[in-house]
Amino acid sequence: MKLKILRKLLFALICLLFALPNGFAQDTSLAPANAISPDSPERVKVNNIFIIGNEKTQKNIILRELDFTTDFYYDWATFLEIIEADRKKIYNLRLFTSVEITPLITGEEEVEILIEVKERWYILPSLIFQLADRNFSEWWTNQNRDFSRVNYGLRLSHANVGGRNEKLKFAGQLGFTRALDLQYSKPYIDKKQKHGLAMQVTFFEQKNIPLKSSNNKQVFYTNENEDILRRNLGIAMRYTYRRTFYNFHFLTFGYSNTRVHPDVLLENPEYFQHGDDKLRYLYATYSFRHDRRDNVSYATDGELLQISATKYGVFYTKELDEVEVNLTANKYFKFNDKFHFVTGLTANWFLSISQPYTLVRGIGYSPNFIRGYELNVIEGQQLYVHKNSFRWKFVDYDVDISSLVPLEQLNTIPIRLYLSANFDHGYVKDRNFKPENANLTNQYLFGYGLGIDFVGLYDNAIRFEYSFNNNGGANFFLNFKAPF
């Protein structure tokens, strides 16, 4: 706290030095001016922008998020709205644990801007220990808490390579699914910071795989010799174009090569649909995202719109020729610091009447779910889900563990608890009308209940929910990700 005060005093001294050429006859209070008062100027011009706390992050990565510039006049009320929006954008880079933007008045209509950030810990080696199933409740109830269905390994990630917000991730995994994953992304490859690139290479193999669904639950299969039943190699490259602050365009080209054991096709001849044990295809995806959320990890204010279209089978369509369209539209209403309401619509469409089982979608597969139906999968070619939550933040404090953890990036643990009242509803259209899943397909579904959301370090969320559904089901569910 003392260091923080000293930093601001040092900045005030710097601002005073910059104000010297204008003379001392002006009223240069150098006081932070974050609100409208009778003494507030009608308009202001930004003379300089100072950034402190960015020991690793390059200055231009932060400046890219600013919607104001120097030597330009702004209406004071509008300017305060701009810097608050910019503070959220900088925080959503997910490079900092805290961001403050302070305008200091140095003249009659002049301000200096102090941007103070506290960097996260960027290099994170971590152990992988996670369930292979769709969610915790699936593993706990449907899979009888089977610890053989656990993935374990090592993950190494660098969230800010070279201080340019580049991401580098590597994971090696054993257990239920043996896998290797390598990802690299560079948000900007040009001086104007509008174009970016990313690439990913993945490989995995499994001895136990879902073959189909029956009674709206996944049916898993392992052969007698416990052979590897499925291998997959995936390669993808993504181009990003960010023309404005909140609008992103993505163009992805990828290749997928999946091979299954002959026993898989004996158990389900329609697993790949083209009579072979290999499924190979190129695909291309265009996505548009409009994102004005205040916090991308756990939003309480703003909006999110995502639209994407994918063509499976580019140039070579013998093994797969399919088109998929996705829509996500979320709105976050913040009434005050304690209460907010979230509503979100997701929709998914396939153009063909049926798909290979590796492409099957539906309610129950991330991110599409209805609370109360976490134990089920409702598969089809079209789905619509509308989720709603009214939340009350009843706990909000920070735990100082600096005496135990000397690292500045990890010595404060935020504790946020929200009580949520939830109502979700939706519909899955199965154009094949499979009788074994007819209980929940092609009909209106809804679920409702109460929950507690725990939001902690780096905005990671854990949800404890008790939900009911319109088929008489009720259960306690535990989830490790925000629902919106």
Q: Identity (one letter) of the amino acid at 109? A: E
What is this structure's pTM?
Answer: 0.84
Per the model's pLDDT, the better-predicted residue between 453 and 5 turns out to be 453
- As a whole-number percent, the residues of the chain with pLDDT over 70 amount to 92
302-352 pLDDT per residue, tens: 999 999 999 999 988 889 999 999 999 999 999 999 999 999 999 999 999
* Residue 27 in this model has a pLDDT that exceeds 70: no
Cα separation, 349 vs 327, in Å, equals 9
384-416 pLDDT per residue, tens: 999 999 999 999 988 888 777 777 767 778 899
Check if the beta carbon of residue 109 is closer than 8 Å to that of residue 44.
yes
Pairing label, strands 110-119, 43-52: parallel
Cβ neighbours, 10 Å, residue 213: 21
Pairing label, strands 150-161, 166-175: antiparallel
417-426 pLDDT per residue, tens: 999 999 999 9
* Residue 116 in this model has a pLDDT that exceeds 90: yes
* Residue 201 in this model has a pLDDT that exceeds 50: yes
* Residue 23 in this model has a pLDDT that exceeds 50: no
* Mean pLDDT computed over 52-58: 94
Contact residues for 180 (Cβ-Cβ < 8 A; gap 6+): 171, 172, 173, 201, 202, 203, 204
Closest by CA to 252, choosing from 291, 204, 198, is 198
Contact residues for 423 (Cβ-Cβ < 8 A; gap 6+): 388, 446, 447, 448
Confidence of residue 144 (pLDDT cuts 50, 70, 90): confident
Q: Kindly calculate the radius of gyration of the chain based on its CA atoms and give it in whole angstroms.
A: 26
Check if the beta carbon of residue 476 is closer than 8 Å to that of residue 468.
no
Contact residues for 340 (Cβ-Cβ < 8 A; gap 6+): 300, 301, 332, 333, 334, 390, 391
pLDDT recorded at residue 430: 94
Contact residues for 83 (Cβ-Cβ < 8 A; gap 6+): 68, 101, 103, 113
Chain centroid to CA 380: how far?
25
Q: Give the length of the chain.
A: 484
Distances (CA, A) of 10 to 22, 50, 194, 275, 295: 20, 11, 34, 72, 30
Distances (CA, A) of 200 to 180, 283, 341, 420, 474: 11, 14, 36, 36, 40
Share the mean pLDDT of the chain. Answer: 88
Confidence of residue 33 (pLDDT cuts 50, 70, 90): low
Cα separation, 42 vs 25, in Å, equals 20
* Residue 50 in this model has a pLDDT that exceeds 70: yes
Q: What angle do CA 181, 185, 190 make, to 5 degrees?
A: 160
* Residue 21 in this model has a pLDDT that exceeds 90: no
pLDDT recorded at residue 38: 63
Q: Where are the beta strands (DSSP E) in 176-229?
A: 177-186, 195-206, 209-214, 217-221
* Residue 5 in this model has a pLDDT that exceeds 60: no
**Eight-class DSSP state of 25:** S
* Residue 22 in this model has a pLDDT that exceeds 60: no
Check if the beta carbon of residue 122 is closer than 8 Å to that of residue 158.
yes
* Mean pLDDT computed over 109-130: 87
* Mean pLDDT computed over 53-76: 94
Cα separation, 402 vs 65, in Å, equals 31
Cα separation, 311 vs 289, in Å, equals 18
Q: Identity (one letter) of the amino acid at 87? A: R
Cα separation, 467 vs 49, in Å, equals 50
Closest by CA to 102, choosing from 1, 220, 229, 11, is 11
262-314 pLDDT per residue, tens: 999 999 998 998 889 999 999 999 999 999 999 999 999 999 999 999 999 99
Pairing label, strands 461-469, 445-455: antiparallel
210-237 pLDDT per residue, tens: 999 999 999 999 988 889 999 999 999 9
Confidence of residue 131 (pLDDT cuts 50, 70, 90): confident
Domains along the sequence of the chain with CATH: 2-119 (3.10.20.310), 123-479 (2.40.160.50)
Record the tokens describing residue 252, joined without a space. Answer: 């992805």
